[in-house]
């Protein structure tokens, strides 16, 4: 599993001119899934995100987690995170999990991050053409791959 995490002051997801998710202070989490991903990846990654200290404390030092900040989150599926650009100029998405494997893992990740954050989170819609808007705070953008945890 690979994520791009962006600390935001606001973010939203719109599908067919209908806003389906909107947050203020928190994290926009773009999630890419491959076939080899498992519950172990979900548990590790969710815990890492929930406890990642990327919010400023009273001294302006990134020392607080989203839990400390009581921030909100949006999770958006994004298979293009697993694009391969080794050959030619057209990315290959062969490494990205197909929907029948990816959807259950995506849904399990959403449930796990809700558990770890202790609150409901918002999501995009798996496989939809989404318009994602955000105001990146910092900017702070972190990339984490669960396969690189050791």
pLDDT tens column, 34-60: 999 999 999 999 999 999 999 999 999
What are the strands, taking DSSP E only, across the chain? 2-15, 18-23, 26-32, 55-56, 62-64, 72-77, 122-123, 130-145
Number of folded domains that form the chain: 1
Query: Which is the catalytic residue, given 78, 112, 122, 123?
Result: 78
Range of the domain at 39: 2-148
**For residue range 112-129, what is the model confidence (pLDDT) as tens digits?**
999 999 999 999 999 999
Query: Which is the catalytic residue, given 6, 79, 112, 123?
Result: 79
Residue 39 annotated in active site: no
Q: Does this model's pTM top 0.85? A: yes
CA angle 86, 150, 64 (to 5 degrees): 100
Give me the CATH number covering residue 136. Answer: 3.50.80.10
What does residue 102 show for φ and ψ, rounded to 5 degrees?
-75, -40
């Amino acid at each position: 599993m690979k994520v791009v995490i962006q600390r935001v002051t606001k973010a939203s997801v719109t599908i067919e001119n209908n806003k389906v998710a909107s947050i203020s202070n928190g994290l926009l989490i773009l999630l890419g899934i491959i076939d080899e991903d498992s519950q172990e990846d979900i548990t590790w990654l969710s815990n890492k995100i929930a406890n990642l200290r990327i919010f400023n404390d009273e001294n302006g030092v990134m020392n607080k987690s989203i839990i400390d900040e009581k921030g909100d989150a949006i999770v958006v599926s994004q298979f293009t995170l697993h694009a391969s650009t080794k050959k030619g100029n057209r990315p290959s998405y062969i490494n990205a999990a197909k929907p029948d494997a990816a959807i259950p893992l995506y849904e399990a990740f959403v449930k796990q991050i809700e558990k770890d954050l202790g609150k409901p989170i918002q999501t995009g819609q798996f496989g939809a053409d989404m318009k994602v808007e955000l105001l990146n705070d910092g900017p702070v953008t972190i990339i984490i791959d669960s396969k690189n945890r050791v």
